[in-house]
Amino acid sequence: MNHLVIYVISDSLGETAEQVARASISQFTTTDYEIKRYSYVLDEENLGDILNLAKEENSVILYTLVNLKFVEQLVNFCSRENIPNVDLLSDLINSIALRTNLVPKREPGIIRKLDEKYFRRVEAIEFAVKYDDGKDPRGFEKADIVLIGISRTSKTPLSMYLANKNIKVANIPLVPEAEPPRELYDISPRKIVGLTNSPQKLNQIRTERLKALGLASNANYASYQRILEEISYAETIMRRIGCPIINVANKAIEETAGIILDIMKANGIKIYKD
Residue positions in the annotated binding site for ADP? 149-156
DSSP tally for the chain: helices H, then strands E: 11, 8
Residue pair 16/64 in contact (Cβ under 8 Å)? The answer is yes
Residue 115 has a CB neighbour count (10 Å cut-off) of 11
Residue pair 130/159 in contact (Cβ under 8 Å)? The answer is no
Q: Which value, to the nearest 10 degrees, does the dihedral of the CA atoms of residues 148, 153, 157, 162 take?
A: -50
d(CA 111, CA 125) in angstroms, rounded, equals 21
Q: Which value, to the nearest 10 degrees, does the dihedral of the CA atoms of residues 179, 184, 186, 187 take?
A: -160
Burial label, 82 (beta-carbon count in 10 A; 0-12, 13-18, 19+): exposed
Annotated binding residues: 149-156
